Structure 1
């Protein structure tokens, strides 16, 4: 187990950490807000209030913030005056609450969704990935994904997507016009589910990839949502590093002044009602050898 410091405490459920312009940013699902802080957690600021439950974060080339609003299935955009406006409406496209997101250098956002009513106990269903263009146009770009979650775009234009209920990480080639091609399994940790019950599938997962980030040597750090650990994975599925956290973790990001601080979003569980009622979530930090991509 690595040495962790607590950077932020007393939150409901933290997700989507991002290092941006010298600060660590993150969403609090049930705190209904996006915040940022200095590397050590000082100077904590509320950046946006999102009644529809914030998740994935990203930035347009001109610096405007994009934030996923989960329950109303919209991607919001923060304007220079601080107001939030609808950037992309996925309510007629996504099969469940929308979740994490990666934004490419041209401002195109790739957004995953649950595919089913997780909190309501519905059966697991594979689902799609959608692209939101800078003008707000929504296009389905991939399907057949088992809860697409944390994602990242490599320097050579490959989109990696962790599939939480799929025991795997998928890869797509990202074309100049924003299409996803050549779907392949980048890392497999076990078989795809044969049962559709969350209660059956979740404890049987070898790895449940949740939030993730890339490092400078092509390693993909993932939070294992069922294993209370952070894993560094390389193409082919080899796990090069495993950090036990002693608590469930649901997302991670590399940042800090030298890019070698690994942040992790920790909470006792992911269930909505107990997380809404308590402020037990924390943002943790530890040090790693390879800096952020």
Structure 2
């Protein structure tokens, strides 16, 4: 963390080092990186003061979209510019799982990021894929590595470059569609949509816009009761997290800003709101300028997990108490007291 940020914004924060391993985890040979900062006493119930942030895999261009696969006990994540999906497990380490992960054609002239990005698991063991390079939402079968396109357009126009995706238990799929995958981004001649939207794909195949007013909608997640949809806006001019109240049919009943990272950016922190993970009790673990920001459901800042590099996204894995972080060129993990959604607790 930069000195201006640490001294100006976090004067009252409790900064803790990482001297010891979390008692529940056996010592490992992985390098310890980063630091943990508590802003509020309630943070102690979520992340232990002596938690180790370990770098477990490295050598990527921009790691993204982590997803823990319980059937098999391994982590999937994407190197978006590298157009490659990787697999990691404690037993086997990191390996290439799928290449290309996204666009499989030969004409890369208009693409900035050809690979797939965010992912979410489905009950049948398949994976929902925000395919940035192919500009669509797909279903991936990890066993066969076959992909099925679920939607590629809205009102006859191609999506920009879908970035992140989350599934509601009724089968509805919410996803963000910024233009990051296109060269020129908003100025790309390939861009067909006049806005950068947040969408809902219903089980019947229909697609609905739920937000078209964010410049760069990015990370997306649901609250534990699925009544609130969270969206991160990766716009350094308006770096906010939005909360959308959802009706049973997935339509939006209301929306509000629950967090604003403008002060972090003003203090010199790199990055912007990006990927999101939500714990079983509703806390947000949100990529932010400076690291992974931990907030309550109303956006109150409780603490920060820093890896020493920009954090793009996070996902709970193992027994629900390991948080995996994709952080620029590497992947890290940290044991936490919080429990991921869907894990026993």
Task: Determine if the TM-score, normalized by the shorter chain, exceeds 0.5.
Answer: yes
Matched, 1:19 2:71: no
Matched, 1:220 2:284: yes
In our comparison, the structure showing a higher alpha carbon Rg is 2
User: Residues of 1 paired with 2:166 and 2:82: CA distance?
Assistant: 22
Which residue of 2 is the match for residue 31 of structure 1? 82
Using structure 2 for the length normalisation, give the TM-score. Answer: 0.68
Matched, 1:261 2:322: yes
User: Residues of 2 paired with 1:43 and 1:204: CA distance?
Assistant: 33
Pair 12,202 (structure 1): closer, same or farther in 2 beyond 3 Å? farther
The answer for unaligned runs of 5 or more in structure 1 is 192-200, 268-280
Runs (4+) off by over 4 Å: 91-95, 115-119, 201-207
Matched, 1:68 2:136: no
Using structure 1 for the length normalisation, give the TM-score. Answer: 0.79
* Map 1:76-95 → 2, pairs under 5 A: 76-79=138-141, 81-90=144-153, 92-93=156-157
Matched, 1:241 2:264: no
- CA deviations over 1:14-64 (Å, ceiling 9, x no partner): 111122313222112123232332257637461563242101112333332
The answer for unaligned runs of 5 or more in structure 2 is 1-34, 37-51, 104-114, 188-193
Deviation of 1:161 after TM superposition, in Å, equals 0.9
* Map 1:1-293 → 2, pairs under 5 A: 1-2=35-36, 3-21=52-70, 22-39=73-90, 42=93, 44=95, 46-47=97-98, 49-52=100-103, 53-79=115-141, 81-90=144-153, 92-93=156-157, 96-115=160-179, 119-120=183-184, 122=186, 127-157=196-226, 158-165=228-235, 166-190=238-262, 208-224=272-288, 226-227=289-290, 229-257=291-319, 259-267=320-328, 281-293=329-341
- CA deviations over 1:196-229 (Å, ceiling 9, x no partner): xxxxx999889721111011232101112x42x1
The number of residues matched between the two structures is: 268
Aligned partners of 1:163 and 1:210 also within 8 Å: yes
Deviates more, 1:99-108 or 1:137-146: 137-146
Aligned partners of 1:230 and 1:244 also within 8 Å: yes
User: Residues of 1 paired with 2:98 and 2:266: CA distance?
Assistant: 34
User: Residues of 1 paired with 2:174 and 2:198: CA distance?
Assistant: 7
Superposed CA RMSD in Å reads: 3.0
Deviates more, 1:248-257 or 1:125-134: 125-134
User: Residues of 2 paired with 1:290 and 1:71: CA distance?
Assistant: 34
Pair 121,58 (structure 1): closer, same or farther in 2 beyond 3 Å? closer
Deviation of 1:256 after TM superposition, in Å, equals 2.0
User: Residues of 2 paired with 1:237 and 1:248: CA distance?
Assistant: 20
